Structure 1
Amino acid sequence: MARSAVMSTSKLSKIENGRAAVSVVDADRILTAIGVSEAVKAEYMAAARAEATEATAWRLYRRLGYHRKQQQIKAMDDTTTLLRIFQTSLIPGLLQTPEFARAVFARKEIGEEQLSRAVGGRLARQAVLYDPAKELQFVILESVLRWGLVPPAVMVEQLDRIVSVSRLSGVDVRVMPLAGFHADVPGHSFAVRDDRTVTVETVHAELVVTDPRDVDLYVRKFERFSSAALAGDDMRSLLEGIRDEFLRKQETGLERPPGCP
């Protein structure tokens, strides 16, 4: 069952023997793996959510391997019907090109084998973009699309990728422009799954929020920004304009922004 629940055998053993607490995510995976009825699952999940918020330090994921973290996220995505992602700092993993994903994981200073496995795990998750049973909504700040994390040539390809994915039937990509008056502050990035679980990434840890009252705060924040963001052709026009700026940087030899090694 450990494999189908996407967790190590040792972790499952500790949970079974009462030597490790069961998180909401763990409970969801285990109950899904053993195939309990929806009524039974709802009862156990309600008990697990009583803990409300959980935090897992990034150093633990580093120890386990970032590819395992990608597998865990994929397992959650596979059981999610409506996924809402609000990004204030980085292009969402589901939209990243292989080159961009490699640059992101390379900054974690891991070996080549671990790097390749992490990138492969992230790219494998992107199959969900083509699942007709899924609804994926993204709201991204314009500043994220201008951030010079990678050379201009990579950003050109990355922006083209987002434009292409935005045309998929089950995908809604919106961009919050820098220009204009804004009635709210973006804060940090987060992902909402089926309006029941929120994942928040902080500097030191990943938080999982499950209290319905708190989840609702994130849902409403997402909806406020989504309603104010550019969508459809307006969004694509903005991205194409930013892409052209990176093209000009590439043509003039500015392969990296000033100050970057």
Structure 2
Amino acid sequence: MNRSELGAALRALRQASEKEAKAVARSAVMSTSKLSKIENGHTAPTVGDVERILTAIGVSEAVKAEYMAAARAEATEATAWRLYRRLGFHRKQQQIRALDATMGLMRLFQPSLIPGLLQTPEYARAVFARKDLTEEQLSRAVSGRLDRQRVLYDAGKDLRFVITEPVLRWELVPAPMMAGQLDRLISVSRLPNVDVRVVPLAGCHADVPGHSFVIRDDRSVTVETVHAELIVTDPRDIATYVSKFDGFAGEGLSGDAMRVMVESIREGFLREQETP
């Protein structure tokens, strides 16, 4: 089965399951019209689309593996951010939450921002405010991101974060809010299934940060660029990202050493607040 045949094959699976399109679309976090376009070959499904549809239908692992292999036939997919704006960033957050629900291990590298799963409401609002949204769109996007954070408390998930020191110092929000954001990071780092590491500026480094990326299990890598989101599924490319993540994780401070560093930066923000 090639990728062009996926739509019709997914429709056949759904019909065989006797599940209505509306119910499958709702579980797959997409509109019924989008599912219809996929099933009729008018819209090419992404790897994430196919996985969510198969999960919603409830197919066996063997069938799922076959269909996912076809979905991954193209090693890299790109979706422009303007398309997500049209969809609604709150819907995008729902899609990510559905993707997170199927993973066991997440490895996230972030050299630019506090990772979304660790953001406070104020910080998340500042991140989405850069996207020129209406107040309603902004509120729904922030709410969607905060709702995703429930995955942090799922003991069945292994969540690993590596961020660089400049992320902690970049004042995307006023100093008091940055102090609160760092408090949040420290608090989450104490969860038993969460590992937060910070790569310090000091010292000699073997690699350069580049850009952020998220590895879910060993199945896919999500990369955010200025204009688009990329989904990488070729095992060789995934291995490259795993190697990069492991390299920075090895250089990062963790545990109490990390928390002492973050607390020191937090105190700097509090002093800045007190400066007349």
- In structure 2, how many angstroms separate the alpha carbons of the residues matched to 1:104 and 1:19? 33
Which residue is equivalent to 1:127?
A: 150
Gaps of 5+ in 2: 1-23
- In structure 2, how many angstroms separate the alpha carbons of the residues matched to 1:229 and 1:106? 30
1:10-21 to 2 correspondence within 5 Å? 10-21=33-44
Which residue is equivalent to 2:105?
A: 82
- 2:181 is the counterpart of 1:158: yes
Give the helix-richer structure, 1 or 2.
2
Which residue is equivalent to 2:213?
A: 190
SS of aligned partner of 1:56: strand
Match of 2:247 among 224, 230, 234: 224
CA offset digits 1:211-257 (Å, max 9, x no partner)? 0000110011101110110000000000000001111111114xxxx
SS of aligned partner of 1:183: coil
Which residue is equivalent to 1:46?
A: 69
Which residue is equivalent to 2:3?
A: none
- In structure 2, how many angstroms separate the alpha carbons of the residues matched to 1:220 and 1:115? 36
Which residue is equivalent to 2:129?
A: 106
- 2:38 is the counterpart of 1:2: no
Match of 1:65 among 88, 94, 108: 88
**Residue type at the aligned position of 2:116:** G
TM-score relative to the length of structure 1? 0.96
CA offset digits 1:148-186 (Å, max 9, x no partner)? 111000000000000000000100000000000001111
SS of aligned partner of 2:256: helix
1:29-44 to 2 correspondence within 5 Å? 29-44=52-67
- 2:160 is the counterpart of 1:137: yes
CA offset digits 1:98-135 (Å, max 9, x no partner)? 11111111121211111110000000000000001100
SS of aligned partner of 2:143: helix
Which residue is equivalent to 1:242?
A: 265
Which residue is equivalent to 1:115?
A: 138
Aligned residues: 253
Structure number with greater CO (CA < 8 Å, separation at least 6) is 1
Gaps of 5+ in 1: 254-261
